Structure 1
Amino acid sequence: MWKILRSRNFWLYTVLLFVVIGFFSFAQVASRNSLKVKKLPVALVNNSDKQYSKNLVKQLKEKFSGSGSQIKFINVKNTSILNKGFTNKKYYAALVINENFDGNLSLQQNYLKGLII
Protein backbone atom coordinates (compact mmCIF):
# COMPACT_ATOMS: atom_id res chain seq x y z
CA MET A 1 0.00 0.00 0.00
CA TRP A 2 2.74 2.50 0.93
CA LYS A 3 4.65 1.66 -2.24
CA ILE A 4 1.72 2.81 -4.33
CA LEU A 5 1.42 6.12 -2.48
CA ARG A 6 5.15 6.79 -2.83
CA SER A 7 5.11 6.09 -6.55
CA ARG A 8 5.40 9.07 -8.92
CA ASN A 9 3.11 7.45 -11.49
CA PHE A 10 0.26 7.24 -8.99
CA TRP A 11 0.36 10.99 -8.27
CA LEU A 12 0.89 11.82 -11.94
CA TYR A 13 -2.21 9.85 -12.96
CA THR A 14 -4.22 11.35 -10.08
CA VAL A 15 -3.36 14.91 -11.11
CA LEU A 16 -4.03 14.08 -14.77
CA LEU A 17 -7.43 12.64 -13.84
CA PHE A 18 -8.41 15.81 -11.95
CA VAL A 19 -7.25 18.00 -14.85
CA VAL A 20 -9.36 16.04 -17.36
CA ILE A 21 -12.44 16.10 -15.09
CA GLY A 22 -11.98 19.82 -14.48
CA PHE A 23 -11.62 20.53 -18.19
CA PHE A 24 -14.84 18.73 -19.13
CA SER A 25 -16.73 20.32 -16.23
CA PHE A 26 -15.64 23.78 -17.37
CA ALA A 27 -16.59 22.98 -20.98
CA GLN A 28 -20.12 21.99 -19.97
CA VAL A 29 -20.71 25.10 -17.87
CA ALA A 30 -19.51 27.42 -20.61
CA SER A 31 -21.72 25.84 -23.28
CA ARG A 32 -24.89 26.02 -21.20
CA ASN A 33 -24.65 29.73 -20.55
CA SER A 34 -23.89 30.90 -24.06
CA LEU A 35 -26.94 29.55 -25.93
CA LYS A 36 -29.74 32.03 -26.59
CA VAL A 37 -32.43 31.27 -29.13
CA LYS A 38 -34.74 33.91 -30.57
CA LYS A 39 -37.33 33.60 -33.33
CA LEU A 40 -36.52 30.02 -34.35
CA PRO A 41 -38.53 29.42 -37.57
CA VAL A 42 -40.98 26.53 -37.18
CA ALA A 43 -43.37 25.61 -39.99
CA LEU A 44 -47.02 25.07 -39.07
CA VAL A 45 -49.13 22.97 -41.46
CA ASN A 46 -52.83 22.73 -40.62
CA ASN A 47 -54.41 20.06 -42.84
CA SER A 48 -57.60 20.09 -40.77
CA ASP A 49 -60.04 22.97 -41.14
CA LYS A 50 -62.12 22.16 -38.08
CA GLN A 51 -62.58 24.09 -34.85
CA TYR A 52 -60.16 22.26 -32.50
CA SER A 53 -57.23 22.58 -34.87
CA LYS A 54 -57.97 26.25 -35.55
CA ASN A 55 -58.08 26.91 -31.79
CA LEU A 56 -54.77 25.09 -31.33
CA VAL A 57 -53.09 27.15 -34.04
CA LYS A 58 -54.52 30.35 -32.57
CA GLN A 59 -53.29 29.50 -29.06
CA LEU A 60 -49.82 28.58 -30.29
CA LYS A 61 -49.47 31.83 -32.20
CA GLU A 62 -50.70 33.89 -29.24
CA LYS A 63 -48.30 32.18 -26.85
CA PHE A 64 -45.25 32.70 -29.07
CA SER A 65 -46.06 36.13 -30.47
CA GLY A 66 -44.02 38.29 -28.07
CA SER A 67 -40.86 40.14 -29.00
CA GLY A 68 -38.69 37.90 -26.80
CA SER A 69 -40.30 34.70 -28.03
CA GLN A 70 -38.07 31.77 -28.87
CA ILE A 71 -40.23 30.33 -31.65
CA LYS A 72 -41.71 31.97 -34.72
CA PHE A 73 -44.50 29.96 -36.36
CA ILE A 74 -44.77 30.26 -40.12
CA ASN A 75 -47.99 29.12 -41.82
CA VAL A 76 -47.44 26.63 -44.64
CA LYS A 77 -50.31 25.49 -46.85
CA ASN A 78 -49.29 21.88 -47.53
CA THR A 79 -46.51 19.35 -47.05
CA SER A 80 -45.03 19.74 -50.54
CA ILE A 81 -44.27 23.40 -49.81
CA LEU A 82 -42.96 22.27 -46.42
CA ASN A 83 -40.52 19.87 -48.05
CA LYS A 84 -39.26 22.60 -50.38
CA GLY A 85 -38.76 24.88 -47.37
CA PHE A 86 -36.72 22.19 -45.60
CA THR A 87 -34.49 21.71 -48.64
CA ASN A 88 -33.94 25.49 -48.77
CA LYS A 89 -33.34 25.51 -44.98
CA LYS A 90 -36.14 27.99 -44.28
CA TYR A 91 -37.48 26.06 -41.29
CA TYR A 92 -35.83 24.47 -38.28
CA ALA A 93 -38.77 22.19 -37.46
CA ALA A 94 -42.37 21.57 -38.42
CA LEU A 95 -45.67 20.97 -36.67
CA VAL A 96 -48.15 19.13 -38.90
CA ILE A 97 -51.79 18.80 -37.84
CA ASN A 98 -53.39 15.89 -39.70
CA GLU A 99 -56.86 15.89 -41.25
CA ASN A 100 -58.31 13.56 -38.60
CA PHE A 101 -56.92 15.54 -35.66
CA ASP A 102 -60.33 16.72 -34.45
CA GLY A 103 -61.87 13.25 -34.65
CA ASN A 104 -58.97 11.67 -32.75
CA LEU A 105 -59.10 14.38 -30.12
CA SER A 106 -62.82 13.90 -29.51
CA LEU A 107 -62.31 10.11 -29.30
CA GLN A 108 -59.65 10.61 -26.63
CA GLN A 109 -61.89 13.00 -24.70
CA ASN A 110 -64.77 10.51 -24.77
CA TYR A 111 -62.44 7.70 -23.68
CA LEU A 112 -61.15 9.74 -20.73
CA LYS A 113 -64.69 10.74 -19.76
CA GLY A 114 -65.63 7.06 -19.75
CA LEU A 115 -62.68 6.24 -17.48
CA ILE A 116 -63.57 9.00 -15.04
CA ILE A 117 -67.25 8.10 -14.89
Structure 2
Amino acid sequence: MEPKTASLNLHADDILEGAVAIAEYLFGSRELRRKVYYLAETSQLPVFRLGSVLCARKSVLAGFIKGQEKQPIRLLHLRAQIVALTGTIRQLERAGFDTSETRHLVAGAGRS
Protein backbone atom coordinates (compact mmCIF):
# COMPACT_ATOMS: atom_id res chain seq x y z
CA MET A 1 0.00 0.00 0.00
CA GLU A 2 2.91 2.43 0.39
CA PRO A 3 3.32 3.14 -3.34
CA LYS A 4 -0.27 4.41 -3.43
CA THR A 5 0.39 6.74 -0.51
CA ALA A 6 3.56 8.07 -2.15
CA SER A 7 1.61 8.60 -5.37
CA LEU A 8 -1.09 10.60 -3.57
CA ASN A 9 1.52 12.79 -1.88
CA LEU A 10 3.17 13.45 -5.24
CA HIS A 11 -0.15 14.66 -6.65
CA ALA A 12 -0.90 16.74 -3.56
CA ASP A 13 2.46 18.51 -3.91
CA ASP A 14 1.50 19.50 -7.45
CA ILE A 15 -1.78 21.22 -6.48
CA LEU A 16 -2.01 24.90 -5.60
CA GLU A 17 -5.07 25.68 -3.49
CA GLY A 18 -6.56 29.16 -3.64
CA ALA A 19 -6.01 32.26 -5.75
CA VAL A 20 -3.35 33.50 -3.31
CA ALA A 21 -1.23 30.35 -3.79
CA ILE A 22 -1.66 30.52 -7.57
CA ALA A 23 -0.72 34.23 -7.62
CA GLU A 24 2.39 33.57 -5.54
CA TYR A 25 3.39 30.73 -7.87
CA LEU A 26 2.78 32.66 -11.11
CA PHE A 27 3.61 36.24 -10.19
CA GLY A 28 5.58 35.99 -6.94
CA SER A 29 3.02 38.13 -5.16
CA ARG A 30 -0.10 37.21 -3.24
CA GLU A 31 -1.43 40.70 -3.94
CA LEU A 32 -2.18 39.72 -7.55
CA ARG A 33 -4.87 37.21 -6.52
CA ARG A 34 -7.57 39.32 -8.23
CA LYS A 35 -5.65 38.92 -11.48
CA VAL A 36 -5.83 35.15 -11.00
CA TYR A 37 -9.61 35.35 -10.53
CA TYR A 38 -9.92 37.48 -13.68
CA LEU A 39 -7.76 35.14 -15.77
CA ALA A 40 -9.70 32.14 -14.49
CA GLU A 41 -13.08 33.77 -15.17
CA THR A 42 -12.07 34.65 -18.73
CA SER A 43 -10.70 31.13 -19.35
CA GLN A 44 -7.16 32.42 -19.85
CA LEU A 45 -5.70 30.23 -17.11
CA PRO A 46 -5.96 26.44 -16.71
CA VAL A 47 -7.60 26.14 -13.28
CA PHE A 48 -10.26 24.00 -11.66
CA ARG A 49 -12.39 24.15 -8.54
CA LEU A 50 -12.51 21.82 -5.57
CA GLY A 51 -15.82 22.90 -4.14
CA SER A 52 -15.55 26.68 -3.99
CA VAL A 53 -11.74 26.75 -3.88
CA LEU A 54 -9.90 27.75 -7.05
CA CYS A 55 -7.05 25.30 -7.70
CA ALA A 56 -4.35 24.65 -10.28
CA ARG A 57 -1.63 22.10 -10.86
CA LYS A 58 1.91 23.45 -10.98
CA SER A 59 2.75 21.00 -13.77
CA VAL A 60 -0.22 22.14 -15.89
CA LEU A 61 0.60 25.82 -15.33
CA ALA A 62 4.23 25.19 -16.35
CA GLY A 63 3.07 23.48 -19.57
CA PHE A 64 0.56 26.27 -20.23
CA ILE A 65 3.31 28.90 -19.87
CA LYS A 66 5.59 26.99 -22.25
CA GLY A 67 2.78 26.89 -24.80
CA GLN A 68 2.17 30.62 -24.41
CA GLU A 69 5.85 31.33 -25.00
CA LYS A 70 5.68 29.59 -28.38
CA GLN A 71 2.76 31.67 -29.70
CA PRO A 72 3.37 34.85 -31.67
CA ILE A 73 2.53 37.92 -29.60
CA ARG A 74 0.02 39.25 -32.19
CA LEU A 75 -1.98 36.04 -31.92
CA LEU A 76 -2.09 36.44 -28.14
CA HIS A 77 -3.47 39.97 -28.52
CA LEU A 78 -6.15 38.77 -30.93
CA ARG A 79 -7.16 35.97 -28.59
CA ALA A 80 -7.41 38.42 -25.69
CA GLN A 81 -9.68 40.64 -27.81
CA ILE A 82 -11.87 37.66 -28.70
CA VAL A 83 -12.18 36.74 -25.02
CA ALA A 84 -13.17 40.33 -24.21
CA LEU A 85 -15.76 40.34 -27.00
CA THR A 86 -17.16 37.04 -25.79
CA GLY A 87 -17.65 38.55 -22.32
CA THR A 88 -19.42 41.55 -23.85
CA ILE A 89 -21.66 39.25 -25.87
CA ARG A 90 -22.62 37.37 -22.71
CA GLN A 91 -23.57 40.66 -21.04
CA LEU A 92 -25.72 41.63 -24.04
CA GLU A 93 -27.44 38.25 -23.98
CA ARG A 94 -28.23 38.68 -20.28
CA ALA A 95 -29.79 42.03 -21.18
CA GLY A 96 -32.02 40.29 -23.74
CA PHE A 97 -30.28 41.19 -27.02
CA ASP A 98 -30.13 38.72 -29.92
CA THR A 99 -26.41 38.12 -30.46
CA SER A 100 -26.46 35.08 -32.76
CA GLU A 101 -24.89 36.92 -35.71
CA THR A 102 -22.22 38.48 -33.51
CA ARG A 103 -21.39 35.11 -31.98
CA HIS A 104 -20.96 33.69 -35.48
CA LEU A 105 -18.50 36.47 -36.39
CA VAL A 106 -16.48 36.05 -33.19
CA ALA A 107 -16.38 32.28 -33.64
CA GLY A 108 -15.05 32.74 -37.18
CA ALA A 109 -12.36 35.13 -35.95
CA GLY A 110 -11.28 32.61 -33.30
CA ARG A 111 -10.52 30.00 -35.97
CA SER A 112 -8.14 32.26 -37.88
Shorter-chain TM-score bucket reads: under 0.3
Q: Larger relative contact order (C-alpha < 8 A, sep ≥ 6)?
A: 1
Scaled by the length of structure 1, the TM-score of the pair is 0.27
Which structure has more strand as a fraction of its residues? 1
Scaled by the length of structure 2, the TM-score of the pair is 0.28
Structure with the greater alpha carbon radius of gyration: 1
